[in-house]
């Protein structure tokens, strides 16, 4: 029962939340029996519930069947617990789910993962460059503001006084 369905991170988290609720309600202290019924090892179930591993889509279908429900119903149950519908997006979560699920990754999957990593890297570089540009712009605006304040004082005929406080304010120096 191999399936190539791409796991959406939010949908996956809702499935896990729904599964945890079902296990707590219907299989309290019987996780080992449930795992065996679902065709997985109790250790794998425990690792996934602890967040150290992830299920493949095919395994989630087996689990839902063993629980007497559907994959979609467990996702809906999880959505009702978290109060948020499954959202699309988050590249890092997609990458970690693909890798953690232990699904059979073929060459195409690896190429997709590498493309997601490259996209994430480009996003980070763009954000870093944008931050540097914004900081430079803020500095220019502060300099213009200081110049305007000095001009206003001169035009008003006010004496310009230089005090330690004005130095701190106008030049960001500590005395």
pLDDT in tens, 95-150: 555 555 555 556 666 666 676 777 777 777 777 777 777 788 888 888 888 787 77
Which CATH entry fits the domain spanning 9-89: 3.90.550.10, 1.10.260.40, 3.40.50.2000, 1.10.3720.10? 1.10.260.40
Q: In the chain, what are the domain boundaries?
A: 9-89, 122-171
For residue 5, what is the DSSP state?
A: P
**Residue whose entry in the numeric block shows the structure tokens 């213009």:** 144
Residues 124, 17: Cα–Cα separation, whole Å: 31
Residues 94, 116: Cα–Cα separation, whole Å: 8
Closest by alpha carbon to 54, among 7, 89, 3, 122? 7
**Is the pTM for the entire model greater than 0.85?**
no
Give the model confidence (pLDDT) of 83-98 as tens digits. 665 444 444 555 555 5
What is the pLDDT confidence band of residue 66, given thresholds at 50, 70 and 90? very high
């Amino acid at each position: 029962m191999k399936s190539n369905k791409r796991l959406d991170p939010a949908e996956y988290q809702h499935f896990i939340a729904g599964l945890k609720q079902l296990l707590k309600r219907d299989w309290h202290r019987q996780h080992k029996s449930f795992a065996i019924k679902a065709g997985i090892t109790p250790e794998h179930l425990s690792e996934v519930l602890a967040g150290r591993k992830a299920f493949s889509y095919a395994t989630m279908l087996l689990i839902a069947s063993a629980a007497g429900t559907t994959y979609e119903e467990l996702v809906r149950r999880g959505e009702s617990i978290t109060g948020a519908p499954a959202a699309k997006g988050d590249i890092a979560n997609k990458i970690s789910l693909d890798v953690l699920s232990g699904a059979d990754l073929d060459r195409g999957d690896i190429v997709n993962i590498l493309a997601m990593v490259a996209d994430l890297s480009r996003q980070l570089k763009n954000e870093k460059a944008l931050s540097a540009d914004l900081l430079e712009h803020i500095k220019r605006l502060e300099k213009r503001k200081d110049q305007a304040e000095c001009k206003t004082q001169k035009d008003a005929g006010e004496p310009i006084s230089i005090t330690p406080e004005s130095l701190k304010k106008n030049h960001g120096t500590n005395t």
